[in-house]
Structure 1
C-alpha cells in the first residue's frame, strides 16, 4: 500500500517523548510547549506563538482575538477546507467568498475589492496546496480599506513570500500540525502574532478563559484548546528538521513533475509563482474536461493498485451545512467548482520513497491512457 500520506519521524521525536515520560510532564504544563512556541514563532518571524490542540482551534482563537463578531463580514476563498468559514460563522460573522485563480488555485486577489462593503472587517487569507497568495496586494488592499488580515498558513510550513516567511503577515496567523503537514505533532495547531495584547488574549481563549484572581470563576467563554507537552515534544523535533523537510518536498514535487510531464490529460501544479517556488504540501492534479474520467474513477483505479488519493476541497458555497443555513444562495464560483470536481491529490507524505512516486506516476498514466476522450 502507498498511503496518501506517510509522515517522517526520524529526528529527536523518540528522545523528546521519552523525556516527557521520564519526567512525567505530559500535560500542557510541560516545558516543551513553551520551547516549541518560542522556536516556531522565531522560525516564522513572529514575536509570539500560542500552541493549541489543532489548526481549526487555532482559527477559532484567531478569529475571536481579532474581534470578529455578529454581522462582521470576512472575505475568504470559497476553495478551502471548511475550518476558516466555520470559525467565522461560529463567531457570528458573515463569510464573503471569492473564486480561485485557475493556475495557482489560490484565492483570486483581483476579486476581493469588489466584495468590500461597510460591514467588511477582515480578509482571511488561505494559502492553498503549496504556493502563497499574493500578499503584497492583499496588505495594500487591507491598509487602503482599514481591514484586518488573518493569515491561514496551515499548509505553508517553511514557505516564503518574496523571502518573507508565510505566517508573518497581517495581524495574526495560524498553522496546523496534522500528520500530513511539513511539521506534525499528530494533531496540533499554532497561533502566531506580534501584538502583546492579542497574544495574551489568545492564551486566555485557549485556556477556558480562566481568571488569575479566581481560576474557576469565569467572565467569558473560551475553549480547552491546549497542546500537551508530548505533542509539543514531537513538534519541536519536527521543527528541527524543517529545512530538510522542505527540500525533500520540493524534490518529490520535481519528480512528480518530470514523471507526469507527458500526461496531457491532466493539469499539474505550477512549479512557482511570482512570489515563491512551490513547496508541494500536496501534489495535486486536475483532470482535463476533454477526458471522460472523473477523479473518483481515477481514485478507484489507483485504489485497486493499492495507491491512496484524496479529493480536492469542496467549495464553501456548495457545502450542505451552509446551504441549510441559507448562506451563499445563488452564488457561483466556476473555477472553484471545477477544481473540486476535477481535482485530486496523489501520495505526498514525507515518508514516500522515489520508487513509490514512480509507481504512482506509472499507474496514473496507465489509467489515463485507457480513458476515452469527450472530444473524440
Structure 2
C-alpha cells in the first residue's frame, strides 16, 4: 500500500456536516442550544435509562458520575487493572481508594472471581469497564452488587450499541458513562455522556458538570465542580450519528469477521472470535495478541514493522500497576497482575475504521501473518 492506513478515521457523513452547518448558521453553538437536551433524551432512551447528562469527554463523565455518588472519603472502588487511566483518575480526584483487578488473558475484562475475593466492607463501588471486544459478564456483577449492596457503574465507552438479550449495555449500571471521542462508535469529536434511572443522581450530575450554579443566586455556587458542558455543535453531530448506530455496529462486526477469517489460522497469535460464550464481539478495535513468545518479538517490534508497511497500530493499555505515578501510592504492595503484564507487552490493535475496504483488511492481515511467523 502506497498510502498510509491509519488505525482509525472518524466516520463523518454528508448528513453530519449538513446538520452541524445548520446549527452554526443558527447561532446556537453553546451548551444552551436545544440539541443538547434532545441528544440526552434520545441517547438515554436508546440505552434504556431515564436520564442522560452530556459532558465534555469520557473522563469528565467518569469524574462527574463518581462525584455525584457522594461516597465517603477513602471508600474502596474496584476498577480494572487493564484499562484507560481515566478510571483511576476519576477515583483519586474524588478521594477514593482504587483496588485494581487483573484481567482474563483472552477476553481482557476483569476476572469476576478476583473481584469477589477483593470485596471488603469498605468496597462501595465497582466500575465495570467493557474492554475492546467482549462485554464483561455484567449480569454476574449485577447479582454481586445487589447481594453486597455495592453501587455498579458501567463504563460502556467501548461497547456502545452492544446488546445483551435485547438489553443495551450501559443499562445495567446504577449509573453509566460513555465517550464520543473520534474513535468511538459515534463521535462528537470530544464529548461524553452519563445515564441513570436515578432522578437524584441526574440532578446532582447536571449541577456538577455546570459549575453548580446557585438555585437562588446564580453566582453563589452550591458545590466544588467544573465546567464540563457539551456544546450544541457537538450534540448536533452526536444526534446525527446516533441515527445510524445500528448500521455502525453491523459494520464493526463485518470488519472484525473479515480480520478473523484471515488471521485466525495463524497459531502464533490470538484474535478474538466473533462470539464468546454467547457474547457477541463488538470489535471496537481489532486487538491481537502474540502467543508464541519463542519468536522473540513483542508488540512494539511488530508495530514498528507494520509501520514500515504503511499500517498504523496502537499498543494495548498500559496497566495500572505499571503507571509511574500510581507506584508512589500503596494500592499494590506485592500484588501480581500476570495477565495485564502479558497482554500489555504482547497486545496491540490494527486499523478498524468503518471505511476499511476488504482489500485493505486482506493486505493488513497478510502483513501481520508475514511478520509474526516461524
d(CA) in 2 for partners of 1:312, 1:10: 29
2:222 alignment partner, one of 219, 222, 226? 219
> 1:227-306 to 2 correspondence within 5 Å?
227-288=230-291, 289-306=293-310
How far is 1:11 from its partner? 5.1
How far is 1:203 from its partner? 0.4
Q: Deviations over 1:187-227 (max 9, x none)?
A: 00000001111101010000011112111112311111000
Paired position in structure 2 for 1:343: 347
Aligned residues of 2:48 and 2:171 also touching (Cα < 8 A) = yes
d(CA) in 1 for partners of 2:324, 2:340: 16
1:313 alignment partner, one of 306, 309, 317? 317
Is residue 61 from structure 1 mapped to residue 64 from structure 2 by the alignment? Answer: yes
Aligned residues of 1:58 and 1:174 also touching (Cα < 8 A) = yes
* Structure 2 segments unaligned to the other structure (5+ residues): none
d(CA) in 1 for partners of 2:146, 2:44: 24
Aligned residues of 1:265 and 1:287 also touching (Cα < 8 A) = yes
Aligned residues: 370
d(CA) in 2 for partners of 1:7, 1:98: 32
> 1:1-376 to 2 correspondence within 5 Å?
1-10=4-13, 12-288=15-291, 289-369=293-373
2:182 aligns to what SS in structure 1?
coil
Aligned residues of 2:260 and 2:273 also touching (Cα < 8 A) = no
How far is 1:32 from its partner? 1.2
- Of 257-266 and 199-208, deviating more is 257-266
Alignment root-mean-square deviation, CA: 1.2
d(CA) in 1 for partners of 2:105, 2:205: 35
Q: Deviations over 1:67-97 (max 9, x none)?
A: 2341100111101001011101110101111
- Of 286-295 and 300-309, deviating more is 286-295
- Of 66-75 and 187-196, deviating more is 66-75
How far is 1:105 from its partner? 1.0
How far is 1:131 from its partner? 1.0
Q: Deviations over 1:285-306 (max 9, x none)?
A: 0001232111111100011111
Q: Deviations over 1:105-139 (max 9, x none)?
A: 11111111111111110111000002111111101
d(CA) in 2 for partners of 1:133, 1:163: 16
- Cα distance change, pair 244–11 in 1 and its aligned pair in 2 (3 A): farther
How far is 1:242 from its partner? 0.4
2:261 aligns to what SS in structure 1?
helix
